[in-house]
Amino acid sequence: MVSLGIYLYLAPSLPDAEQLKDVDLQTPLRVYTEDGLLISEFGEKRRSPISFDEVPQQFIDALLASEDDAYFQHIGVDFKGLARAALELIRTGRKKSGGSTITMQVAKNYYLSSEKTFKRKFTEILLALKIEKALSKQEILELYVNKIYLGKRAYGIQAAARVYYGKTIDQLTLAQLAMIAGLPQAPSAANPINSPERAIERRNYVLARMRTLDKITDEQFQTAAREPISARYHGPTSEVSAPYVAEMVRRDMIERFGSEAYTAGYKVFTTVDAARQQAANLALQRGLLSYDRDHGWRTTNDNRSVIPSEPLSLAHQDPVLQEWLAKADPQQDIDWPQTLEQWRSTLNRRPDNGVLKPAMVTAVHNNGAWILLKDSEYWLPFSRIEWAKRYVNVNVIGDPIKAAGDVLSRGQEIWVEQLGDGYRLAQFPEVEGSLVSLRPRDGAIQALIGGFSASSNEFNRAIQADRQPGSSFKPFIYSAALANGFTPASIINDAPVVFEDASLESTWRPQNNSGKFYGPTRLRQALYKSQNLVSIRILKQMGAGKAINFIEPFGFPREKLSRDLSLALGASAVTPMELATGYAVLANGGYAVKPYLIQRIEDDNNNVLYQANPAIACSDCDRNDNNDNNNDLDAQQALEQQLRDSLGLTNEEQPAEQPKTPLAPQVMDSRTHFLMMSMLQDVVKRGTGRRALVLKRNDLAGKTGTTNDQKDGWFSGFSPDLVTTVWVGFDQHVTLGRWAYGSNTALPIWVDYMKEALKDVPQRPYQQPEGVVSVRIDAETGLLAAPGQSNAIFEYFREENVPQQPVKSAPAFGDDSPDSDAELIPEQMF
């Protein structure tokens, strides 16, 4: 009667066990590359749900041996176990075991609190009986292994396998499976990281139970019981390092879903290409380290020492040992076991930073040093130390060092740069940088880095740092000029000029970096030689307002663009992302695309919640705005087919039921684009971007940039398939040094990245559009070449802008020809 009364009292409040079939487990937010590699995960609970069929049989045997060996025989409640627990409580006054079955634990974990009351226990029993009627044994066990807490933020056996062993559950040994199977009893206090002794005792108990139940052989038991503990903490496994990308996605997801973003198991697939992101990581870090080496060795906190442990105490009573200790050399005779343990503990507290690895100096010789890394000891030859001349200031370094001991000492904490065949002495650079790489046809972000290390500074310079772009902004001024009647052969006087302009607040005397003036200069020459006075004069002729109206649609916020002549020299601060967006227009044929990072969002059941549908740059698509065509279904389908054909997509890759693909607006006509692109190719072929020639491609174009006092170094360049912007500078807006320019700071990083990013991409030279012709002109005047003129050059023009007047005489140029490379100088803002 008592049982009946309890049932009648509790039954109305029991939840529906059928709901467990549709239960949503709290799983973290995961961020992936476009090709499905994990970038990062966010959330308090680490969980990776798996199906019953994915659980190894040996783990099921271990779990049941540990928790509920009669699981497949009882009806959800082990009445004998409950009776035993009750008698134990009555006899001792203490509850040693709860008699809970796995089904009862599922009831508690999914529906009930952890309070220890009789009401909760009776509710747990009744719920277990309902669950057994609603679900199969396999379904219940699947719920259990995915919900149970196993320590170190790991919920479920798959997460535990990754946290403790860095593997999936099906890759574990018998001993490791038994270790995890023993964790539910005391996951925090007896896990193999917090308490190895208790964990191994519990593991061996599980193994012994398996042997008793004939689930393993005696040989298997003996082997597994002797296996040493191999568990250590494994943080969230990242297959691709892109911390700035991960943070951008996290913020976006919080805006979309609130705190649910951390627990609902959302999967975000970004546009990032894994191989390109990895290439960008290496290129940027190695480029910044190269700059850092060129400016000498700084004494910083990174160079602190961990003093080696002394030999055995001098107070030792053994007279023989006392005599030895009195003669011991404290520089050599140290307590090595204790010292190595201390050094390894220090190293384990310091995370890797990309190509930089923490190390301890263990011994120093004239010709090199022995260093200890987390995994082993390595020899660091003097040839990889000798760069470390003393840093004096940004323009001065000290005398050459003569031995490794000039900079290193035993016990010193250092950084080393990982190379293909070993390591090189390094230091954490103070200089910063960023890289943004976009797919110009639609603005998809292929790679993004906001600084040398997100672990040391989360400030994302790619999207948050407004910096003056210097001469790398000039292509937009020149594009506006070409759209407003100028030609690549237009002659502009590169001569001194003084501006009395109220908007500039003072008299302005701009000049070229060399201090020289080159007189009448063709527009093409002025761009690849980066002559400042020409840029200023063409902007003055156009007017800043007209130039801004042309440039703004490229993706630059209007409020950031200066409305005075300093606009011509890149004095308007923009972010690397904004500059890359502008260059995407130059790369894709003249179409404004918007950068985007999230390709699609899926829920925990792989349902697509969001799918990006970016506007596409398509020069071959029909953009007829005629109302009849817009309303005609056949015309729309034809337009879609043109777009698919232009992108090389099959009909299957873009099903008919998907949203129509929008077309990016054209903000530069094809003829202006071709002229501008050909001028930017000359920057690479014969101007300040010539370092890019090492890539041996004929479809590259771009522009360097260096701001006043060398505070910023830039290179933005592109092929038809990829546009990339690199920035280098100090966060404090101080000079990079008198010899630092975009061409030797940012451009080498760009080259190293593009070498890998375009490795398997075929060359695609830009096609000359209709209405553009090539004619022979006189290089000095820009007029038509005289018949038979031997030093004439070819230039592109719109048909209507071809010079009509021939040159009156044909001068013969020597090394000082306007097309000579002899006068090339680094570019500078002013």
* Active site residue ranges: 67, 471
- CA 257 distance to own-chain centroid: 23
Taken in order 504, 508, 513, 518, is the CA torsion positive or negative?
A: positive
Q: Are 577 and 245 in contact (CB under 8 A)?
A: no
Q: Are 813 and 494 in contact (CB under 8 A)?
A: no
Distance, CA of 687 to CA of 693 (rounded, Å): 11
**Residue 754: which of 788, 805, 720 has the closest Cα?**
720
Q: Are 429 and 452 in contact (CB under 8 A)?
A: yes
For residue 614, give both structure tokens: 């970016």
Distance, CA of 86 to CA of 712 (rounded, Å): 76
CA distances to 368, 479, 501 from 549, in Å? 61, 12, 21
Quick one: CA torsion of 541, 547, 550, 554, rounded to 10 degrees?
Answer: 140
> Phi first, then psi: what are they for 269, rounded to 5°?
-100, 115
Distance, CA of 123 to CA of 219 (rounded, Å): 43
Q: What is the DSSP string of 95-112?
A: -------HHHHHHHHHH-
Q: Are 484 and 538 in contact (CB under 8 A)?
A: no
Range list of β-strands (E), 340-474: 356-365, 368-372, 377-381, 391-393, 396-397, 413-419, 422-426, 432-439, 444-449
For residue 679, give both structure tokens: 């001028």
The amino acid sitting at 436 is: V
The DSSP H or E segment spanning 727 is strand 722-729
DSSP 605: T
For residue 227, give both structure tokens: 């296996």
The DSSP H or E segment spanning 285 is helix 274-294
CA atoms within 13 A on the CB side of 269: 16
CA atoms within 13 A on the CB side of 327: 5
Q: Are 587 and 577 in contact (CB under 8 A)?
A: no
For residue 722, give both structure tokens: 């990829």
Distance, CA of 117 to CA of 354 (rounded, Å): 52
CA distances to 127, 551, 587 from 670, in Å? 72, 16, 12
Three-state DSSP at 766 gives: coil
